Structure 1
Amino acid sequence: MGIKEKSLEISYGEVGPSTWKRQLDFLMSVLGMSIGLGNVWRFPYLCYKNGGGAFLVAYLSLLVIFVLPVIILEIVMGQYTRRSAMSIWRLVPVLQGVGYAAYIILFLGNTYYPVLMAWSLRWLISSLSSTSPWTDCTNDWNSEDCVPISLSRDSNQTTQLLNSTAVNLTQTLGNTGSQSSVEEYWRTFILGQSPGLEEYGSVKWDLALCLLGTWLLVYFSVWKGISWTSKIVYVTATLPIAMIFIVVVRGVTLTGASLGISKYLSTNVTKLSDLELWTDAANQLTFTFIVGYGCLISISSHNERHYNAIRNAAIIGCANAATSFTSGFAIFSVLGHLAEIKNTTVDAVAESGPGLVFMVYPTALSLLPLPNLWMAIFFITLILLGLDSLYVIQDGLFECTKDLAPTLFRGKWTYEITHGLLSLIQFAIGLTMVTNLLLVYSVYEMKPLTYNRTYRYPTWVNGLAWLSALSSVIFIPVTATYVIWKSPGDTMFQKVKNSAKSSVPPESEEIKSGDDAIALTSPNQAITP
């Protein structure tokens, strides 16, 4: 077969996307992307908060009825068109703004997510020390209100926290009551948190170095494309699952574990009529499966067209849901133990998000024999869960970047250099989140004006949060308006109709060379024998 080059048109770039060598590579990458921190620090708490079994009913119902069909749709769109989330919307030009919105969401998401990894890495480094400075109040950063954790390393039973009704791991900034030594270690030593936005502070350089280390891991894991990423995810996607099971086995053997597990699984059927339960279930599903963000489309663009999308979606859905459910036993067995040690209820210690993994859980693990070992295992698990999500999402983001500016990728080393520049920009933005201000909390939780339920941010912060939210969706109406205005037609109806017509010519043939597939999209191309 010969091709007359002058009649060959490629709709984006000069070479189509590379292809996964095996279907398993694709599956492991998607599992690595979707199974992340949300499975550990969000799902168990939402399940406990919304009536246990009732939440599982809502979660599984929405998964089967809504989320799995969307996953199948995104996989099919990606592997059939072999386009990223950016260029695929040329099929419906009036909706091209969705591609730009997806790009902004992926960019912002992969800018703050490494900060969470930096926090985890800083805790991991602390856990490797010979001492446990977060367990006492003899350090320079401790205040007069500090209440230490007392440990007994000579027996399997640990002594209880000092008897103080003021000890509260979710205590808020500015409260004059007592604070646990773990909370002070987290807020004062690791974060160096300022009282408010009025005191912006400086960059925490230990956290900045942890953030830099995270970005170096991400960059050198994806700088050569999926040929590298597909190998790394076999470790980063499977090892955390094994470590979660280790924590589960240890957790269920602790005294008081049954208290936490019974709270986790207790069923309140009346909750099914509560709209908040269904909203939480829907939010959790879209958050963990990353549907609607366009990343799955970009990853699926590396698939062969014959891949079984329905089977792959079913495996992804079952594996993700099973991991979330299992993580609940790891979390609530330990919280049950903590509640018994403190002679309080599980309700008093239950928490989600950063408060769970950076304060409550370290407190509980500090009360176990060999606390540093369990702390290291826990934070290694968090880091691996986060890194494989970062790897895959960054690859999806980069595929969109290639569609935005294909001319940047035609020379030698341009892929590596451009990827390095993109990562450098994201790292620079991330530095603003490792200052004493720590605005990332409000951005991540999406709860305007408040921090830890009591501190109220100034009004301008609320406006900044709205700008952040609108920075992606604004592209949809703006782009749609522009496309309609530019579309041919004498009447508005004709313009709207023409704006929905595909701007991509029908594909007539596909020529493969090695692992790459070149899509010949011009209907008039000439192929000679």
Structure 2
Amino acid sequence: MSKRELSFLSSSENDPSTEPPLSATDEYVGESDENVERGNWSSKTDYLLSMIGCAVGLGNVWRFPYLVYRNGGGVFLIPYTLMLAMAGMPMFFLESSFGQFASLGPFGVWKAVPMLQGLGMSMVFASIFGTISYNCIIAYSLFYLFASFQSPLPWSDCFSWWGADETCSRTPRDPLCNFTLDSIYFQIVNTTWLHSRNKTCSNESEIHVLYQSPTEQYWDKVVLHRRGSMDEMGAIVWHIALCLLLAWLIIGAALSKGIKSSGKVVYFTATFPILQYCLFSYSFYNLGWEPGAYQNSSQLGPAPPKAGAALNILLEETFLNAFDKFHPVKAFGTITISVHIGQNKITLNLALLNLKLNLKILYICQVWRDATTQIFFSTAVAMGGVTALSSYNKFHNNCYRDTIIVCVVNCATSVFAGFAIFSVLGHMAHVQDKSVSEVVQSGFGLVFIAYPEALAQLPWAPLWSILFFTMLITLGLDTQFANIETVVTSLLDQIPKFPRSKRLYLTIAICLLFYLLGFLYITQTGIYWINLIDHFCDGWSMIGIALLELLSLSWIYGTNRFIKDIEMMIGEKNWLFWLWWRVCWRFVSPCVLAVTLIWSLATFAPPTYGSVEYPVWAILFGWCLAILSIAWIPIVAIVKITQAEGSTLCQKISAACRSAPDWGPFLKQHRVGRYHKRSNSAEALNDESHIVKV
């Protein structure tokens, strides 16, 4: 044995931190990574795009535009922005800095307050529930993507080859009339026939004919094979099962090397939707629709020729009516903006409006609740993803700057998506001679019924459809990358002996398990289950988890202590810098979340899918799932208190709230100040695996 080997053996016996790093292999750890146990992001761009992709999801497309319209249009941006500042950003900053400081996932970080480690488990379970159902939506999008490679699009008309029945119609059917002839005979006739003969039908004699549009029937009959109620389980829809398998294969492949591979995939999946928003907004503004589409806008002056029909409808019916709900909007001039791109000249004619902001809408509690819940959907907090992704940052990464970038980009994308979505719906309203309020929908109805119907009416419809559903798929995949990474990271943190080189097998096993669990959602009643999970597990439970997270770190762990931890990473700041964050973490954000939670529970309404009501057993099952996702919090707390030292209950609770001995920065070189004498997490992971080969 050489002197060098003997020297290394001697030092390793006395200092476990000198042990060679685990064989994490180059697949998971790069040469520039400071954390050789877990690995780090290959670049700052990888992290930012992954975080933006996690935050910018399907909710930006199918939920935010609908909430804007329902809650007064543009005036909804006021509570939305305020909730971002008072709840969204403080929570995002808290979670991202928490995970980065300890380099641990959503379960491991709660060594800071061991009694509340159940919060981490609740986050992971909420992430699991959301992941399984969310991937089914990606499967639907994949099916529509494959169906889009046809001309004409299959849902563009009532084609018999896919099973359209007699109730299918592209246009509303005229009502029938139980008409009296010669005061003796009764005959059911078409109201159009009556009007052509200058006759009318009394209201009590009208018979309304039920009909479904081609997109509705295609969604129900071809995609879902939907049953009439949740009591009828039905068979597995195998074409959706294959699409679901493909979705999981894509996710597994993207996460094959953990953040090293997913951090490269997001260069496409995170940027493609934003490019699509630009393309949709510009193309629908300049497709050359007739000026007549600029309906009900006489007060705004003449319409710009062949431009902006849909966007004008958007501005008039959504944002402008919102700013001025009860007073007329008047124009006092126009601005013409010309932009030269190559040889092309883009001209926008903007009306200068005298807007009278209607602040009465801000007195409605529902508006503020919707703003708060949408912020949580947008920023992806309280799901564990922010903590998990941030745990792979280098210790001295500026998490404060990242918070500002991610939150601003995410909310700006939501607003931009609103323009893109309503530009299409505005055109659809014009073509069907309806108001926007008659075509606007939320959720599945928007992305799988209303939007495909609008796309089918455009020139080059298959191309638009391919682009749209590709955008939906990439939006969903980004979120799924973060959700699966949350689960994998939490498991690896709790199983330190698990070889990092086998991480791929763990990822495959998780994807396979979730695929099998997702079979419930791809039956003929699967859409009811997805809607049920979304209703019970993705709303108030997230707000409750976030509230406890804030209270535990602010009032148990301590705001001052937490701020000092952050300053170890980003450097010391003056008291003025921390004033806003300190006030939000201790008072403002908890109050906002508590009021929102109480209001959500007080106004709870049973879920419905369209006109279909859920049976009692389904609602009870939904409550059980919601309780299951948060039950870990009291269960773990009771276990920790029972195991804690102390002769009285107060002493046990105090001991259970005390940080674990190995709490602090993951690496020894970052353990300074009060963490200097604590054992670091890397040593704790390897306490039982010190093997030196001679």
TM-score (norm 2): 0.68
Contact 2:231 2:615 (8 Å CA) reproduced: no
CA distance in 1, matches of 2:51, 2:175: 45
Partner amino acid for 2:318?
Y
**Residue pairs, 1:215-230, within 5 angstroms:** 215-230=248-263
CA distance in 1, matches of 2:482, 2:609: 31
Match of 2:389 among 288, 299, 302: 299
In the alignment, structure 1 residue 434 sits paired with structure 2 residue 591: no
Query: Kindly tell me: are residues 48 and 415 of structure 1, through their superposed partners in 2, closer, same or farther at Cα, counting changes over 3 Å?
Result: same
Alpha-carbon offset, residue 261 of structure 1: 3.2
**Residue pairs, 1:123-142, within 5 angstroms:** 123-140=144-161, 141-142=163-164
In the alignment, structure 1 residue 388 sits paired with structure 2 residue 478: yes
Query: Kindly tell me: are residues 176 and 467 of structure 1, through their superposed partners in 2, closer, same or farther at Cα, counting changes over 3 Å?
Result: farther
Partner amino acid for 1:505?
D
CA distance in 2, matches of 1:344, 1:508: 59
Alpha-carbon offset, residue 138 of structure 1: 3.1
Partner of 2:613: 456
Alpha-carbon offset, residue 467 of structure 1: 1.2
Partner amino acid for 2:505?
I
In the alignment, structure 1 residue 202 sits paired with structure 2 residue 235: yes
Contact 2:103 2:666 (8 Å CA) reproduced: no
Contact 1:114 1:211 (8 Å CA) reproduced: yes
Contact 2:313 2:426 (8 Å CA) reproduced: yes
Which shifted more, 436-445 or 39-48? Answer: 436-445
In the alignment, structure 1 residue 80 sits paired with structure 2 residue 80: no
In the alignment, structure 1 residue 425 sits paired with structure 2 residue 544: no
Partner of 2:185: none
What SS class does the counterpart of residue 325 from structure 1 fall into?
Answer: helix
CA distance in 2, matches of 1:470, 1:164: 48
Partner amino acid for 1:261?
L
Query: Kindly tell me: are residues 411 and 340 of structure 1, through their superposed partners in 2, closer, same or farther at Cα, counting changes over 3 Å?
Result: closer
Partner of 1:153: none
**Residue pairs, 1:147-296, within 5 angstroms:** 147-148=169-170, 161=171, 164=174, 177-253=210-286, 254=289, 255=293, 256-257=309-310, 258-265=312-319, 266-267=322-323, 268-296=358-386
CA distance in 2, matches of 1:53, 1:503: 48
What SS class does the counterpart of residue 406 from structure 1 fall into?
Answer: coil
Unaligned runs of 5+ in 1: 149-160, 167-174
CA distance in 1, matches of 2:382, 2:256: 25
Match of 1:117 among 138, 148, 155: 138
Alpha-carbon offset, residue 191 of structure 1: 0.7
- Sequence identity (%): 32
Partner amino acid for 1:100?
M
Partner of 1:444: 534
Partner of 2:168: 146
Alpha-carbon offset, residue 200 of structure 1: 1.2
Match of 1:398 among 488, 491, 498: 488
Partner amino acid for 2:268?
V
Partner of 1:495: 652
CA distance in 1, matches of 2:512, 2:314: 43
Unaligned runs of 5+ in 2: 1-6, 23-35, 177-207, 294-308, 324-357, 537-603, 670-679
**Residue pairs, 1:347-362, within 5 angstroms:** 347-362=437-452
CA distance in 2, matches of 1:404, 1:369: 54
Query: Kindly tell me: are residues 143 and 375 of structure 1, through their superposed partners in 2, closer, same or farther at Cα, counting changes over 3 Å?
Result: same
Contact 2:226 2:524 (8 Å CA) reproduced: yes
Query: Kindly tell me: are residues 82 and 5 of structure 1, through their superposed partners in 2, closer, same or farther at Cα, counting changes over 3 Å?
Result: farther
Q: Supply the RMSD in Å over aligned alpha carbons.
A: 2.6
What SS class does the counterpart of residue 667 from structure 2 fall into?
Answer: strand
Alpha-carbon offset, residue 426 of structure 1: 0.4
Q: Which has the higher contact order (CA 8 A, sep 6+)?
A: 1
Alpha-carbon offset, residue 70 of structure 1: 1.5
Partner of 2:116: 95
What SS class does the counterpart of residue 4 from structure 1 fall into?
Answer: helix
What SS class does the counterpart of residue 101 from structure 1 fall into?
Answer: helix
In the alignment, structure 1 residue 8 sits paired with structure 2 residue 21: no
Alpha-carbon offset, residue 450 of structure 1: 4.1
Alpha-carbon offset, residue 311 of structure 1: 0.8
In the alignment, structure 1 residue 51 sits paired with structure 2 residue 84: no
Query: Kindly tell me: are residues 83 and 165 of structure 1, through their superposed partners in 2, closer, same or farther at Cα, counting changes over 3 Å?
Result: farther
What SS class does the counterpart of residue 179 from structure 1 fall into?
Answer: coil
Alpha-carbon offset, residue 505 of structure 1: 2.5
Partner amino acid for 1:424?
L
Query: Kindly tell me: are residues 521 and 416 of structure 1, through their superposed partners in 2, closer, same or farther at Cα, counting changes over 3 Å?
Result: closer
Contact 2:252 2:507 (8 Å CA) reproduced: yes
Contact 1:508 1:520 (8 Å CA) reproduced: no
Larger Rg belongs to: 2
What SS class does the counterpart of residue 146 from structure 1 fall into?
Answer: coil
Alpha-carbon offset, residue 511 of structure 1: 5.9
Partner of 2:127: 106
Contact 1:448 1:461 (8 Å CA) reproduced: no
TM-score (norm 1): 0.89
CA distance in 2, matches of 1:422, 1:506: 28
CA distance in 1, matches of 2:175, 2:403: 49
Contact 1:133 1:139 (8 Å CA) reproduced: no
Query: Kindly tell me: are residues 55 and 78 of structure 1, through their superposed partners in 2, closer, same or farther at Cα, counting changes over 3 Å?
Result: same
In the alignment, structure 1 residue 71 sits paired with structure 2 residue 92: yes
What SS class does the counterpart of residue 106 from structure 2 fall into?
Answer: coil
CA distance in 2, matches of 1:74, 1:502: 17
Number of aligned positions between the proteins: 497
Alpha-carbon offset, residue 452 of structure 1: 2.8
Contact 1:120 1:383 (8 Å CA) reproduced: yes
In the alignment, structure 1 residue 467 sits paired with structure 2 residue 624: yes
CA distance in 1, matches of 2:115, 2:95: 19
Contact 2:644 2:652 (8 Å CA) reproduced: yes
Query: Kindly tell me: are residues 179 and 509 of structure 1, through their superposed partners in 2, closer, same or farther at Cα, counting changes over 3 Å?
Result: closer
CA distance in 1, matches of 2:486, 2:500: 21
